[in-house]
């Protein structure tokens, strides 16, 4: 048994942490929150130039050719930094979709440009306030033309390429071509820009086989959920540490607030949730890198645990701060916003719990 | 990153499995679920002793102990591998966990060479059973506040007082005990630690009936009990240091708890019809089930992380302290929820109940599990202080001599 990341993977993690610590502290995240830029250009460029974005893209397509385990450790650091960059859209979702389902030609055309950061790519699945599923999806593709309205789509206004989920298929759409209108959508987390994209007979090509869209989308989602879960773990740890630091620094009634059990036990509960999530994420990382038969179960398990860990740490971090925690000036809001954003990207916790139990029923694990 | 056995681990597993196959019966899964008949304690103790002796003979009883004390000199991972394999067989466990998990490890750390030689093996072979005499009526979480008195008399000590909640004292041969030898110094300073023969004159064991109706623990009264000074562990007045050895081992020994878990709940939910269909199709049932599955897996993989650290010669991270905080409430909530699902039927606790009252008995037992060996609250203190580095609670007992302290028994 060797249930840990390798020394090389830990080194990569340290490098990502150092880069983000230098270039992407919370004052930089705040710039995106308060400014007009859809993401932090300099940080995103750095992540691409240093090879983090292309880490798991094969060398033949311009990446470093490392595995998904490497991507997991980078994801944790992006989460810790609350990085305001289109990494998840371009890499966990679009690049992974193309790697999984793309033709040789599609891979050659798009992966190098995504890995280098030359273009941003995204996944367009959601269609408003009902979670997408085969019975609710309206977007259609026929004869190479795609029509429908997708929102909210992460990085949708800046992306050059979208992987679009239609009623029956996944499709690739070059967003710079005709028949496409986009507008920004306001969300709870302005550090990650979202948009509405309207496709009106836009040129599109199939990604993977026609009719396999939903099943391919679900498989993609499971894989991406593991990477998002690592982001959530990184975020949860950062939120816990923010609460801990404040609990040591703030005095009330003549003592550190961290000496009151109501606060101590809250922090212990953050720690417990974090460690359960981290352990489940490790297992899922392994399942992802080895493509094991229980990948879906492992992904849902990690996803549920990590969502809960971040939700709890983010909201109780504000509580630990008292009034200052509720201000615009304080940084606690970043975690509150990002934790919710990540919890709902790819569908909320109840959906994943339902999926998990369906899998448990199927595999008759009981 | 992988969970595969290394070649040596695989070899060890194969040997353990072969030995178990030759010496025990595999569990009958179907029977396991429905029939949980408890035989009388004496019968269970007898079969536990027999199994323990066989296991000790083969070296599997204490894999990590040194061979001179009957162990195998093996690794923690080997212990886990053996436990995984043994779990597939129908063998009688229990009875020796406190002795082998806490008492003997304390002896191995503090007793003389002859004492270790004399006591380790008989405990390992199940011939002598040990108990832990720490808690008292006025000292549980705050065990250093204990009052049982030890007075020196030449080469002997005379012990007077009372212990409580002593698991297994009714059948135990030996015990480890913390006493107060000097009430005039601060409470952690005046303690002295001994091991003693439970058959000594002046010891009276009275069973306590638990709320479940069973009697697993006892009150133990000491009236002028004489213990030779040679059975003192650690220096006079330094009993707390020795007690910490025991408590550290307690935390390692008390793991995840066992009993009915998500898979039994899944089975139950499949079998129950609610107004709008089978319970397993109910969103709330699915949500709760998923939460408990996620917790169970989280604990399992946390253990794997700990083992990996151990196998690389690193000290395991503090993540190993979360097991009981999670599993205690989980056991209780899951059992309670399973009973709720059955509606009024869930109150039945006899032959008519589902799965032979597995949920009902866990619901009862979990209430004690959350208290035994460190309460949920004390464990959260430990995590927040020792892992996260938060300040200790404000203590009004610091720097005060023991006999000046206020308690519910007065000064
Ligand atoms: C099934 C079972 C088996 C046991 N077996 C043994 C045994 O074999 N040997 C043995 O020595 N003991 C044994 N015990 C005793 C056990 O260790 C104690 O019951 C336990 O440590 C709690 O102590 P207490 O009962 O005195 O409760 P108290 O310490 O009085 O606690 C009462 C409540 O106050 C809370 N509390 C206490 N201090 C604090 C604090 N600082 N901060 C916040 N909350 C606090 C507790 O969490 C609890 O909720 C057993 C107990 C049980 C239930």
Range with the lowest mean pLDDT among A179-183, B9-13, B373-377, B404-408?
B404-408
Question: Best mutation site among A244, A258, A265 for testing chain B: the one with the most B CBs within 10 Å?
Answer: A265
Q: Tokens for A357?
A: 């139990």
Place of tokens 């942490």: A17
Residues 6+ apart with CB under 8 A from A170: A97, A101, A163, A164, A206, A207, A208, A212, A213, A216, A217
Say if ligand 1 is within 6 A of residue B371 CB: yes
Q: What is the mean pLDDT of chain B?
A: 92
- Picking from A210, A235, A201, the residue whose alpha carbon sits closest to that of residue A345 is A235
Answer positive or negative: Cα dihedral of B117, B119, B120, B125: positive
Say if ligand 1 is within 6 A of residue B95 CB: no
Provide, rounded to the nearest whole percent, the portion of chain B with pLDDT above 90. 81
Higher pLDDT, B309 or A139: A139
Closest ligand 1 atom number to CA of residue B169: 8
> Which residues in A lie closer than 8 A to residue B2 (C-beta atoms)?
1-3, 286, 290
Q: What local confidence, expressed as pLDDT, does residue B254 receive? A: 53
Going along chain A from its start, the domains and CATH numbers come out as 7-86 (1.10.540.10), 121-211 (2.40.110.10), 214-365 (1.20.140.10)
Q: What is the rounded distance in angstroms from the CA atom of residue B388 to the CA atom of residue A309?
A: 16
In chain B, domain spans: 7-28+37-95, 130-251, 255-387
Residue nearest to atom 37 of ligand 1 (CA): B141
Q: Tokens for B402?
A: 């023991």
Q: How many Å lie between the alpha carbon of B12 and the closest alpha carbon of chain A?
A: 13
> Which residues in A lie closer than 8 A to residue B77 (C-beta atoms)?
1
Q: What local confidence, expressed as pLDDT, does residue A365 receive? A: 52
Q: What local confidence, expressed as pLDDT, does residue A139 receive? A: 98
Q: Among residues 291-350 of chain B, which lie with CB inside 8 Å of chain A? A: 291, 293-295, 297-302, 304-305, 307-309, 311-312, 319, 322, 325-326
Question: Is residue B10 within 8 angstroms of chain A, CB to CB?
Answer: no
Higher pLDDT, B93 or B193: B193
Q: Tokens for B123?
A: 């405990």
Range with the lowest mean pLDDT among A33-47, A120-134, B33-47?
B33-47
Could you tell which of B134, B325, B375 is best to mutate to test the pocket of ligand 1, judged by most ligand atoms within 8 Å of the CB?
A: B375
Q: What is the rounded distance in angstroms from the CA atom of residue B10 to the CA atom of residue B22?
A: 18
Cβ-Cβ contacts under 8 Å between A and B: the total is: 169
B255-387 placed in CATH 1.20.140.10: yes
pLDDT band at B273 (very low <50, low <70, confident <90, very high): very high
Q: What is the pLDDT of residues B36-77, one digit of tens each?
A: 567 899 999 999 999 999 999 999 999 999 999 999 999 888
Inform me whether the pLDDT recorded for B359 exceeds 60: yes
Q: How many Å lie between the alpha carbon of A233 and the closest alpha carbon of chain B?
A: 13
Question: Best mutation site among A255, A269, A272 for testing chain B: the one with the most B CBs within 10 Å?
Answer: A272
Q: What is the pLDDT of residues B141-158, one digit of tens each?
A: 999 999 999 999 999 999
Name the pTM for this structure.
0.95
Bridge-based pairing state of the strands A170-174 and A194-203:
unpaired
Residues 6+ apart with CB under 8 A from B357: B36, B348, B349, B350
Inform me whether the pLDDT recorded for B31 exceeds 60: no
Helix/strand/coil for B230: helix
Report the Cα–Cα distance between both ends of chain B, in Å, rounded: 57
> Which residues in A lie closer than 8 A to residue B287 (C-beta atoms)?
350, 353-354
Question: Residue B390 and residue A267: Cβ atoms within 8 Å?
Answer: yes
Q: Tokens for A185?
A: 């959508």
Q: What local confidence, expressed as pLDDT, does residue A205 receive? A: 98
- Compute the C-alpha angle A307/A308/A313, nearest 5°: 105
Q: Which CATH class is domain B130-251?
A: mainly beta
Q: What local confidence, expressed as pLDDT, does residue A366 receive? A: 44
Question: Is residue B267 within 8 angstroms of chain A, CB to CB?
Answer: yes
Closest ligand 1 atom number to CA of residue B137: 26
Helix/strand/coil for A53: coil
Inform me whether the pLDDT recorded for A83 exceeds 90: yes
Q: Tokens for A56?
A: 């798991």
DSSP conformation letters of B189-207: TSEEEEEEETTSTTEEEEE
Question: Residue A283 and residue B297: Cβ atoms within 8 Å?
Answer: yes
pLDDT band at B398 (very low <50, low <70, confident <90, very high): confident
Inform me whether the pLDDT recorded for B35 exceeds 50: no
Is residue A239 within 8 Å of A317, Cβ to Cβ?
Answer: yes
Q: What is the pLDDT of residues B165-205, one digit of tens each?
A: 999 999 999 999 999 999 999 999 999 999 999 999 999 99
Inform me whether the pLDDT recorded for B256 exceeds 70: no
> Which residues in B lie closer than 8 A to residue A271 (C-beta atoms)?
322, 383-384, 387-388
């Amino acid at each position: 048994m060797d249930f840990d990341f390798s020394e090389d993977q830990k080194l990569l993690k340290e490098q990502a942490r150092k880069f983000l610590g230098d270039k992407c502290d919370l004052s930089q995240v705040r710039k995106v929150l308060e400014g007009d830029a859809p993401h932090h250009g300099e940080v995103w460029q750095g992540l691409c130039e240093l090879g983090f974005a292309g880490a798991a893209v094969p060398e033949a397509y311009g990446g470093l050719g490392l595995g998904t385990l490497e991507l997991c450790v980078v994801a944790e650091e992006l989460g810790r930094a609350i990085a305001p960059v289109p990494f998840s859209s371009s890499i966990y979702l679009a690049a992974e979709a193309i790697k999984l389902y793309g033709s040789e030609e599609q891979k050659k055309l798009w992966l190098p440009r995504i890995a280098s950061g030359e273009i941003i790519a995204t996944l367009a699945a959601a269609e408003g306030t009902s979670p997408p599923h085969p019975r609710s999806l309206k977007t259609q593709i026929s004869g190479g033309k795609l029509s429908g309205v997708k929102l909210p789509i992460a990085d949708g206004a800046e992306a050059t390429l979208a992987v679009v989920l239609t009623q029956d298929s996944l499709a690739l759409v070059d967003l710079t071509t005709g028949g496409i209108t986009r507008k920004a959508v306001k969300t709870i987390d302005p550090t990650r820009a979202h948009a509405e994209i309207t496709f009106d007979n836009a040129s599109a090509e199939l990604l993977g086989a026609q009719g396999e869209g939903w099943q391919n989308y679900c498989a993609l989602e499971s894989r991406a959920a593991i990477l998002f879960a690592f982001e959530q773990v990184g975020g949860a740890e950062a939120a816990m540490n923010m609460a801990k630091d404040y609990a040591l620094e703030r005095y009330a009634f003549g003592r550190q607030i961290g000496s009151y059990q109501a606060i101590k036990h809250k922090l212990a509960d953050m720690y417990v949730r974090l460690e359960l999530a981290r352990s489940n994420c490790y297992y899922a990382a392994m399942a992802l890198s080895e493509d094991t038969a229980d990948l879906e179960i492992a992904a849902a398990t990690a996803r549920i645990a990590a969502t809960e860990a971040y939700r709890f740490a983010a909201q109780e971090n504000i509580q630990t701060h008292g009034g200052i925690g509720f201000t615009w000036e304080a940084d606690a809001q970043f975690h509150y916003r990002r934790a919710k954003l990540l919890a709902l990207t790819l569908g909320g916790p109840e959906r994943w719990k339902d999926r998990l139990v369906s899998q448990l029923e199927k595999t008759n694990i009981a | 990153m992988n969970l595969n056995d290394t070649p040596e681990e695989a070899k060890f597993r194969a040997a353990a499995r072969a030995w178990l196959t030759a010496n025990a019966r595999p569990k009958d899964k179907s029977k396991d679920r429905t029939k949980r008949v408890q035989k009388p304690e004496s019968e269970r103790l007898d079969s536990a002793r027999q199994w323990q002796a066989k296991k000790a003979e083969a070296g599997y009883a204490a894999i990590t102990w040194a061979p001179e004390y009957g162990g195998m000199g093996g690794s923690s991972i080997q212990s886990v591998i053996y436990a995984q394999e043994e779990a597939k067989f129908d063998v009688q466990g229990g009875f020796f966990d406190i002795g082998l998990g806490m008492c003997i490890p304390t002896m191995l750390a503090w007793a003389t060479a002859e004492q270790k030689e004399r006591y380790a093996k008989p405990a390992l072979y199940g011939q002598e059973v040990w108990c832990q005499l720490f808690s008292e009526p006025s000292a549980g979480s705050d065990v250093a506040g204990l009052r049982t008195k030890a007075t020196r008399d030449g080469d002997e000590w005379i012990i007077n007082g009372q212990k409580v909640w002593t698991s297994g004292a009714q059948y135990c041969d030996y015990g480890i005990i913390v006493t107060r030898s000097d009430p005039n110094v601060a409470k952690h300073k005046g303690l002295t630690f001994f091991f003693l023969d439970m058959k000594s004159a002046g010891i009276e064991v009275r069973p306590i009936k638990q709320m479940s109706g069973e009697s697993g623990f006892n009150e133990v009264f000491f009236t002028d009990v004489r213990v030779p000074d040679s059975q003192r562990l650690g220096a006079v007045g330094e009993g707390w240091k020795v007690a910490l050895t025991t408590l550290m081992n307690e935390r390692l020994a008390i793991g995840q708890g066992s009993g009915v878990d998500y898979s039994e709940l899944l089975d139950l939910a499949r079998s129950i019809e609610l107004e709008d269909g089978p319970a397993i199709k109910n969103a709330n049932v699915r949500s709760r089930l998923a939460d408990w599955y996620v917790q169970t897996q989280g604990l399992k993989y946390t253990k794997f992380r700990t083992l990996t650290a151990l196998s690389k010669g690193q000290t395991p991270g503090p993540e190993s302290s979360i097991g009981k905080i999670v599993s205690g409430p989980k056991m209780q909530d899951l059992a309670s929820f399973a009973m709720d699902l059955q509606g009024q039927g869930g109150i039945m606790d006899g032959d008519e109940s589902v799965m032979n009252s597995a949920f009902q008995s866990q619901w009862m037992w979990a209430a004690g599990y959350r208290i035994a060996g460190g309460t949920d609250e004390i464990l959260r203190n430990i995590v927040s202080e020792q892992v996260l580095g938060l300040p200790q609670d404000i203590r009004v007992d610091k720097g005060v001599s023991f006999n000046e302290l206020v308690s519910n028994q007065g000064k």
